Structure 1
Amino acid sequence: MKKSGNGDSAKRRLVTARVMFFILLLPLFSGMILTGCYHGEIADLAADPVDEGASDTTQDSPVNPFRLPYPVEMSIVKNVPPGLMLREGETIENNSFTEYYYKKTNIKFKVDWYASDDNYTQKLHLAVESNVLPDAMIVDEPMFRQLAEYDQIEDLSNVYNKYASTLLKEIYSSSGEGVLENATINGRLMALPNISIHADSISMLWVRQDWLNRLNLAPPQTMEDVIAIAKAFVEDDPDGNGLKDTVGLSGNKTNLYALAGIFNFTGIFAAHNAYPGLWMQDDNGRIVYGSTQPETKHALSTIRSMYASGLIDPDFPYRTEPLDLLVAGRSGMFFGPWFAPWNIVEAVKEDPAADWRPYLIADADGHYNTERMPVSSYYLVVRKGFAHPEAVIVYANQLLSDSRLPDEEYNKLDPAMIITLSPLYLTIDYADAVSRKYKELVQVLEGKASPYSLSPEMMGHYNRWLRREQRSEMNVSDWAAPHAYLYGGEIVTQQMDREVYNQFTSMTPTMEQKWDTLFKFENETFYKIVLGEIPVDSFDDFVKDWYDQGGRTIIAEIEEQLGNR
């Protein structure tokens, strides 16, 4: 198989630029499946394990969508957090989660190898290039399409039709955006795709409400309000300690923008109707790159002005962990998604009086803007020639049912390790899951529905909310989930005036060769502008050079590919 030698690096950089890295790292809350009273298929249909050779005799028999009638070994690879600490006696391959899923599904997961972050990406690309693949793995869209093009993965059409649970089919079919079609090539289903959660796209401003109250400030609505509040947080001693030791807005040295990112400035870009990193259509229907548009220049100018005025954490370009400022009680605002409370639990643990509330920030015309997640960003694929492709369908069925109606055995698993140690973790949920869960919880809190109508997941969050309100238990772990759903969830139910979708999420030949260089050029230019190292008008030179160094060719290739679909 021939490919550019720079392809791996380019794809890895593109993933970093956009959202594709994020799904595997999403906190538990975003990956949990929409809960509800679904009982249709979760009966115990388990059959006694039989010799693997017996599988041929069951082809025309009714199947159990949650358990194979014979033991199957399936090799996988894992992306694990660096410095991961496991319980004594557990390994990446043998732990409480792999044991649980073996018991439930009859699938024994064998981990061929594991690595972290960039090392994982490099090893995965090398495995694909060498055609030394595990039996199943989760990949991003460029790699998925490459694997399909070179006939390295199995057609799942038949096993999906035969083994997929009613619930799995229901969620995929009700997505309303052709999710399965996105994983279908030449009429064949070549993967199980994730379903992106709409709510994850919206960047909102999380603010210390207690600081606003202490300084008698109104909640923010516009960027002018954000700037004014940041100034007050820096100058007016919002924590009341008599020192000027607080910052207005936190930042992130890793990226200035990232969909579903935290501590970055995605919300400021949205408030300028700017969408850096996005392939979008202009008024004439032509493809343009959001990072080269005038609105992005305006947003960078605002961020630069705030940084120069000391309204943004002056050390954000060098700060390793932005959360440290919150834990120390020194930061009053940050941009992040609805699920940010899970990310800042340590800060609330240090200061239980910290009252974080989210707000949408409008543009100059009073409009609320957001980019929307791609329909799918990740794909669960099966190696071509694997004898039991139905195993991934059975596993997905069980993963889904566990999230909706967890049994006592599942509830004993460590919820903080679900994404890390589940053999293959893929988000399959209703696209509007967060809004549904918010409305479900509010109905009960307002007395319009019985608590017994809640799903197991939401019943847990309801009980956490009651404990916090009644102060019967001061457990900080009770804070994050209900806070995220009741406040972040309320924000995402608001009507957005402008929702912009990425028009292209794959790769072109020139992107494989040049994207790494182009993205590095963009990132360095943007940071230099924000830090005041070069003038804002250097943006115009960047745009010209970006087109000359390959951007013009890439856009032509994207338009050609889109025209051929």
Structure 2
Amino acid sequence: MKRKGLSIILAFALMLLAACSNGEDKKEQATESGAESSLATKENGEVDYAFGKYEEPVTIHTVRETNAAIEFPKGDDMKNNIWTRAYKERFNINVVTDWVSDDYETKMNLAISSGKTPDIYRVNASQLQKLMEADMVMDLTEVFDKYASDRVKKYMGFDRASFESGMKDGKLYGIPQLHYGVIDQPDFVWIRNDWKEELGLQDPQTIDDIKNIALKFMEKHGGYGITLNKTLDTLKTLAVAWGAHPDIWVPGEDGKIVDGSTQPEMKDALATFAEWYKLGIIDPEFMVKDTAAMNANVIAGKVGVQPFYQWWGYSPGVDVVTKLGKNAIFYPYNIPSANGKKVIHSVSFLNGSYVVVNKKAKNPEAVIKLINFYAYMMDEGFSKESKETVAAFVNDGLEHAPQPFKITNPNTDYEQFVKVSEAMKTKDTSNFTATGQWQKYNNSVEFETKGTPTAVGDYLQQGAPRSAYSLAKPFIDNNQYIKNSLWGAQPMELAKYGSTLGDILTEGFTKIIMGKESIDYFDKLIKEWRKAGGDEVTEAVNKMYGNK
């Protein structure tokens, strides 16, 4: 009995020793493989995968893009700021930024080509396709399912198509950073207000009104009347007046998906633009100007009409108010119809970037935790953190500092505008439920009362009596817009030919506007576009998105 009892004791001891040894091995393996090294729990005792803090420090490497809109406090920068310190304090995650570039896309292309990419980084749709084809990024399906917060998963549910655009064969490789919603898509004609009031001009109701306002400004202040740069992007925003939808894919007359830039309505728009150029209304040097050069004359007070996007107030608006004063503000006006039909706005595929993880990264779940944290601070943080804490994370453009760890609620701006615009009328903020609502409201009040230049963006977007979103909302409510039929990942053919085809059209449109070619050249141009790959791309787009 004693021998048997001793054997049992020895066997039990060996089992314990093996278990302990195996546990240590597993712990070491878990740490090396990047598995969760902490078992932080929620109040109900469940493991908190979404927000749990690591017991041991975890280091992840990333890269970032320069953002001039962010005003960092003294001593802070893109690599070291309130967000990176919070990652360390709240999650024990050290985020190391290997480089910051003002030419991010080019530098990222070089990094991808060389195979020298960081642990976590942000890419565009074309780059994502290349990375998936080259098997350079990690399958995040299980990691996302386990670690993403309920709120982040809800965001993805709001725009399932964008979420699925980051997948290949049903597996998630790129986490969409999403967007601010359809309300930010309609474009406008921005008109300098003090000049308009000085001349007693009425709000534009027709395309001819826009032309005449520009001519009146030229007569009074000299120079030219309407801004444009070499990409033609801002002038293209006016094309919806003729029913044209350049730069998105739309159903053609036969139901087949076609490039909106190649349709007859675009020819009608170009005919008017050519007339304006001949009259001296369009900047005579547009063909050599980039966006910065185009905006420079707006900021210098040399031009008073600018077709532009809803974010005019952020850029060039801040610089306009800083240099010329509050009264020189430009206000948005709806683009009027040129043919008596309802204006239907163009809506591009809204998700422009994805977060990916290097296949060799040890802690893929870390990026999910930091994305969860961003969503928390921008929404739930309003009710769970002090106002001072929230303000420190979002004031002066700091909400854009996280970059690869950022995500947006697709319903944010619509919900925000409804509450902010009402509060601007009533001064009652009791219905606010998210951080961004306070931010937009406070900045709108700041500009309205003090004319603070850095607050003009939020004011013109949401808080002003004539704001961009106040004009956009009726179009959204009435479904007066058309979405890009290419709503998701691009076919490989578009990635192959896209830039070449775009250059062909831009060069041809420029010749027509400048009068170097007649408007009839449009038909020849489209034939050249088709031969250069346009037909092949169109076929691929229809194969991928037709009959959906």
TM-score of the superposition, structure 1-length normalised? 0.79
Instruction: Tell me which residue corresponds to 1:12.
Output: none
Deviations 1:211-234 (A, max 9, x none): 333323221122122112212222
Contact 2:192–2:329 (Cα < 8 Å) also in 1:
yes
Alpha-carbon distance in 2 for matches of 1:543, 1:85: 45
1:346 correspondence with 2:330 = no
Instruction: Tell me which residue corresponds to 1:360.
Output: 334
Contact 1:179–1:195 (Cα < 8 Å) also in 2:
yes
Deviations 1:480-539 (A, max 9, x none): 312320311201101253423142664545445444433222221111221222222222
Alpha-carbon distance in 1 for matches of 2:405, 2:100: 14
Alpha-carbon distance in 2 for matches of 1:66, 1:189: 21
Instruction: Tell me which residue corresponds to 1:22.
Output: none
Contact 1:68–1:391 (Cα < 8 Å) also in 2:
no
1:329 correspondence with 2:307 = no
1:428 correspondence with 2:401 = no
Structure 1 residue 420: Cα displacement: 6.3
Please identify, of 273-282 and 53-62, the stretch whose mean Cα deviation from structure 2 is larger: 53-62
Aligned match for 2:54, one of 53, 63, 69:
69
Aligned partner of residue 62 in structure 1, secondary structure: coil
1:165 correspondence with 2:149 = yes
**Structure 1 residues 460 and 506 mapped into 2: Cα distance closer, same or farther (>3 Å)?**
closer
Contact 2:191–2:306 (Cα < 8 Å) also in 1:
yes
Aligned partner of residue 424 in structure 1, secondary structure: helix
**Structure 1 residues 491 and 301 mapped into 2: Cα distance closer, same or farther (>3 Å)?**
same
Aligned residues: 494
Aligned partner of residue 361 in structure 2, secondary structure: coil
Contact 2:257–2:485 (Cα < 8 Å) also in 1:
no
Contact 2:190–2:306 (Cα < 8 Å) also in 1:
yes
Please identify, of 540-549 and 276-285, the stretch whose mean Cα deviation from structure 2 is larger: 276-285
Aligned partner of residue 96 in structure 2, secondary structure: strand
Q: Which is higher, the Rg of structure 1 or of structure 2?
A: 2
Instruction: Tell me which residue corresponds to 1:458.
Output: 437
Structure 1 residue 85: Cα displacement: 10
**Structure 1 residues 532 and 368 mapped into 2: Cα distance closer, same or farther (>3 Å)?**
same
1:418 correspondence with 2:398 = yes
Instruction: Tell me which residue corresponds to 1:477.
Output: 454
Alpha-carbon distance in 2 for matches of 1:445, 1:91: 33
Alpha-carbon distance in 2 for matches of 1:512, 1:443: 44
Contact 1:278–1:291 (Cα < 8 Å) also in 2:
yes
Instruction: Tell me which residue corresponds to 1:535.
Output: 518
Structure 1 residue 184: Cα displacement: 3.2
Instruction: Tell me which residue corresponds to 1:35.
Output: none
Aligned partner of residue 254 in structure 2, secondary structure: coil
Structure 1 residue 543: Cα displacement: 0.9
Partner amino acid for 1:346? D
Structure 1 residue 413: Cα displacement: 5.2
Structure 1 residue 379: Cα displacement: 1.1
Alpha-carbon distance in 2 for matches of 1:356, 1:515: 34
Alpha-carbon distance in 1 for matches of 2:332, 2:372: 35
**Structure 1 residues 375 and 459 mapped into 2: Cα distance closer, same or farther (>3 Å)?**
closer
Contact 1:269–1:299 (Cα < 8 Å) also in 2:
yes
1:256 correspondence with 2:256 = no
Instruction: Tell me which residue corresponds to 2:128.
Output: 144
Alpha-carbon distance in 1 for matches of 2:74, 2:458: 29
Instruction: Tell me which residue corresponds to 2:286.
Output: 316
**Structure 1 residues 530 and 105 mapped into 2: Cα distance closer, same or farther (>3 Å)?**
farther
Q: How does 1:518-557 map to 2 (within 5 A)?
A: 518-557=501-540
Alpha-carbon distance in 2 for matches of 1:56, 1:466: 46
Structure 1 residue 305: Cα displacement: 1.0
1:200 correspondence with 2:199 = no
Q: How does 1:25-64 map to 2 (within 5 A)?
A: 52=31, 55=36, 58=39, 62-64=47-49
Please identify, of 386-395 and 86-95, the stretch whose mean Cα deviation from structure 2 is larger: 86-95
Alpha-carbon distance in 2 for matches of 1:393, 1:505: 22
**Structure 1 residues 114 and 210 mapped into 2: Cα distance closer, same or farther (>3 Å)?**
closer
Unmatched 5+ stretches in structure 2: 1-29
Instruction: Tell me which residue corresponds to 1:392.
Output: 367
Partner amino acid for 1:382? V
Deviations 1:160-204 (A, max 9, x none): 2222222222222234x5332332333323222122321232111
Contact 2:161–2:487 (Cα < 8 Å) also in 1:
no
Alpha-carbon distance in 1 for matches of 2:530, 2:398: 43
1:231 correspondence with 2:246 = no
Partner amino acid for 1:490? S
Aligned partner of residue 518 in structure 2, secondary structure: coil
Structure 1 residue 551: Cα displacement: 1.6
Root-mean-square deviation (CA, aligned residues, Å) is 3.1
Structure 1 residue 382: Cα displacement: 1.3
Alpha-carbon distance in 1 for matches of 2:185, 2:285: 27
Instruction: Tell me which residue corresponds to 2:357.
Output: 382
Aligned partner of residue 78 in structure 1, secondary structure: strand
Q: Which segments of structure 1 move beyond 6 Å, counting only runs of 4 or more? A: 82-88
> Share of identical aligned residues, percent?
24
**Structure 1 residues 505 and 458 mapped into 2: Cα distance closer, same or farther (>3 Å)?**
closer
Unmatched 5+ stretches in structure 1: 1-50, 238-243, 258-263
Instruction: Tell me which residue corresponds to 1:183.
Output: 166
**Structure 1 residues 128 and 330 mapped into 2: Cα distance closer, same or farther (>3 Å)?**
closer
Alpha-carbon distance in 1 for matches of 2:172, 2:440: 36
Alpha-carbon distance in 2 for matches of 1:106, 1:285: 54
Q: Which has the higher helix share?
A: 2
- Of structures 1 and 2, the one scoring higher in RCO (CA 8 A, sep 6+) is 1
1:80 correspondence with 2:60 = no
Instruction: Tell me which residue corresponds to 1:3.
Output: none
Aligned match for 1:372, one of 347, 352, 365:
347
